[in-house]
Amino acid sequence: MDMRLVINNHRIGEIGDIITISNKNFKLVNIDKILISCAAAYYYRIFGFESPKEFIEHWVSQRKPFVASSHVYIHYFEIEE
């Protein structure tokens, strides 16, 4: 199983939705709502960062406020073969 994760400050779909990117289909299989501080602390490597600080710096560089007590959504996609 090939899984992709996307994080955003709002939901970007419903479980079961299929999106197509570059001729590949991705099915949304789960959505978790967690604190942004937890995402930075525990998911930073999954999103390709070397440290929680780097995760936070990138988040802020995307013009998204980093408020430790705010929630974000982690979307789990499987590649449809």
Residues 72, 39 contacting (CB under 8 angstroms): yes
- The per-residue pLDDT for 21 is 87
The amino acid present at 40, given as its one-letter code, is: A
Which residue bears the tokens 């999103």? 47
- The per-residue pLDDT for 1 is 58
Residues 2, 80 contacting (CB under 8 angstroms): no
The one-digit pLDDT tens for each residue of the chain (81 residues) are: 567 899 999 999 999 999 998 899 999 999 999 999 999 999 999 999 999 999 999 999 988 889 999 999 999 999 987
- The per-residue pLDDT for 27 is 95
- The per-residue pLDDT for 63 is 83
Nearest to 14 by CA among 80, 73, 64, 81: 73
